[in-house]
Amino acid sequence: MISKNELKYIQSLCQKKQRAAEGVFIAEGPKLAEELLASNYKIIRGYASASWLAENKTSKGFTEVSDIELEKMTGLQTANQVILIVEQKIQKTIPDLSKKLSLVLDGIQDPGNLGTIIRIADWFGITQIIASEDTVDLYNPKVVQSTMGSFIRVPVYYTDIVSFLSATKLPVYGAMLEGKSMYELEKSATGLLVIGNESKGIRTALQPLIKQAITIPRFGGAESLNAAVATGILVSHMKS
């Protein structure tokens, strides 16, 4: 059983300000728990049902809670069997990005989009994402959940991307409605692919820094593509 204060604290971690102050985040569900427990992330504490604890044969650092308590603790529509409080990893120094393809995210706001983009990067072996400072927080519970564990393998570096792109000597590709067809693009395993905001696209200040605008040819009547879907299509083509 957990106290009211403990429950209030867990619920407060759904807020970015509180997560930043505490330096922790929440992860829910058996799959995320399994991956995090096997990773080098530090688990601060965990809360789990009796059945999960019995199945996983672990009790160290865990508190057994009832299904009703899990329902009160969860930030999801349906409570999971296990909830972890985990120490954040703040990525500060951007590594050498030469000889690889990396993603640059410009103001991605939807948690589901960021989570899916991280999963796409993980699938295609992209091991780093550079994000603008106004991109949604990596440790937003919905982002963490939608990555399905891929955030463990794909670090996200938040920075001033105008300065970052101004300084880089790597090829910079931009996903834009008006650009060179991806089918005409000479494939390259090296460079930066910039994905813009869901509604506004790549911001005006960045556009002069794009060395090659690329587009996904449209054959139907849809006005645009979801940012994560477009990322998947472009990365699949560029990495093939």
Mean pLDDT across the chain: 92
Averaged pLDDT for residues 17-27: 95
pLDDT top residue among 168 and 73? 168
Superfamily (CATH) of domain 4-87 = Ribosomal protein L30/S12 (3.30.1330.30)
Positions of CATH 3.40.1280.10 in the chain? 101-239
Is CATH 3.30.1490.70 the classification given to domain 101-239? no
Confidence of residue 19 (pLDDT cuts 50, 70, 90): very high
User: What integer is the mean pLDDT of 24-31?
Assistant: 94
pLDDT at 111: 96
The CA-atom distances, in angstroms, between 82 and each of 136, 146, 172 are 25, 16, 42
What per-residue confidence (pLDDT) applies to 59? 65
Summarised one tens digit per residue, pLDDT across range 56-100 is: 877 678 999 998 898 888 877 677 899 999 999 988 899 999 889
Q: Is the pTM of this model over 0.85?
A: yes
CA 209 to CA 207: how far, in whole Å?
Answer: 5
